[in-house]
Amino acid sequence: MTTSVVNNAPNRIHVHDRRFGWLLTMPGLALLLLVIAFPVLWALFTSLFEYTLINPGFHTYVGAGNYAKALGDPEFLHSIRVTAMFVVAVVVLEFALGFLIALMLNDTERGKDLYYAILLCPLLMNPVVVGLIWRMFLHPSLGIVNYLLGRIGIPPVNWLGDVDVAFWTIVMVDIWHQVSFMIVLLLAGLAALPREPYEAARVDGASSLQCFWHITLPLMRPVIVVTLLIRMIFAVKTYDLVYIMTRGGPGVATDFISYFIYRSAFVGLDLGEASAMSGILLVIVLAMTAYLHRSMRAIS
């Protein structure tokens, strides 16, 4: 009898601890449900109806009609293509530049704190502020960039008004803003690498390039995969820079998917179709997040 009571005591303590833990997390879970789950569920529910801001109401059920309409919209498909090009461009260029700088900083002994402070300044800035600053810098007649180009004999460039230039201008500004993110994560991975393989390779007479190709890259692969996936997820959702700098123009040269959804909802006033587009974007981001989660589990 006494032994049974003693054996049940840990179970009761465990149940009490679990209940207490749930009690502590309930306010946070309730806030998450209110701030995140409710808008998402409302948007998914709205996507099933013909809901416009001119005639708001859940009167006409269309089912998957809004999704079919969105996937058949050439402008929406164009925004997906532009976004895909942007994601590939910024991720590849930021990774190449970030990895190069991370390798250089990893071998630097003096002044690291100063370099970190300089690199983190753009990352700590709000995207809206970054967009406003660069829009001012890139003004065709009053901007400092065209002024400096004029000093060396280069004619002024219409950075945000030229169809062939505007897209790459957004890419350049995004790289300036976000490359520090790549550098910090890759530098953390490089700092955590074991030194023994490098010492053994040097004893065998391996060059720096051979050490990088056969030791650094294989050991850094998990960090590289996670870094690229996180950056891709953030790049897909880019909205602030486009809204501040180009408003999707000139024409539809920088009409990224997030901005196109905003235009469909608050300019086209078709909230049902915009909600369906948001659902499609949610599926894309969730697929990338699931792959990221699986990669992180594989690493651990």
Task: Give me the CATH number covering residue 156.
Answer: 1.10.3720.10
Q: Examine the domain organization and report whether 176 and 108 are in the same domain.
A: yes
Q: Examine the domain organization and report whether 205 and 85 are in the same domain.
A: yes
Residue 42 placed within a domain: no
Residue 50 placed within a domain: no
Q: In this predicted structure, what is the pLDDT of residue 299?
A: 62
Q: In this predicted structure, what is the pLDDT of residue 226?
A: 86
Q: Examine the domain organization and report whether 120 and 15 are in the same domain.
A: no
Residue 54 placed within a domain: no
Residue 242 placed within a domain: yes
The residue segments making up the domain with residue 155 are: 65-299
Q: Please measure the distance between the N-terminal and C-terminal CA atoms of the chain and give it in whole angstroms.
A: 45
C-alpha–C-alpha distance, residues 121 and 107, integer Å: 22
Q: Examine the domain organization and report whether 74 and 24 are in the same domain.
A: no
C-alpha–C-alpha distance, residues 299 and 27, integer Å: 32
User: Which of 199, 230, 217, 210 minimizes the C-alpha distance to 103?
Assistant: 217
Q: In this predicted structure, what is the pLDDT of residue 10?
A: 62
Let me know: does 279 contact 264? Beta carbons within 8 Å.
Answer: no
Q: Examine the domain organization and report whether 161 and 27 are in the same domain.
A: no
Residue 7 placed within a domain: yes
Q: In this predicted structure, what is the pLDDT of residue 9?
A: 57
Residue 1 placed within a domain: yes
Q: Examine the domain organization and report whether 2 and 87 are in the same domain.
A: no
Q: Examine the domain organization and report whether 150 and 226 are in the same domain.
A: yes
C-alpha–C-alpha distance, residues 97 and 91, integer Å: 10
Residue 53 placed within a domain: no
Q: Examine the domain organization and report whether 93 and 238 are in the same domain.
A: yes
For the record, the structure tokens of 214 come out as 């056969």
> CA neighbours within 13 Å on the CB side: how many for 115?
14
Divide the 300 residues of the chain into consecutive groups of 10 and give the mean pLDDT of each group: 53 73 85 85 92 87 92 93 94 94 84 80 89 94 92 92 93 94 90 87 85 88 87 90 92 93 91 93 87 72
Q: In this predicted structure, what is the pLDDT of residue 300?
A: 57
Q: Examine the domain organization and report whether 89 and 152 are in the same domain.
A: yes
Residue 48 placed within a domain: no
Q: In this predicted structure, what is the pLDDT of residue 261?
A: 94
Q: Examine the domain organization and report whether 70 and 32 are in the same domain.
A: no
Structural domain count of the chain = 2
Q: Examine the domain organization and report whether 23 and 114 are in the same domain.
A: no
Q: Examine the domain organization and report whether 97 and 223 are in the same domain.
A: yes
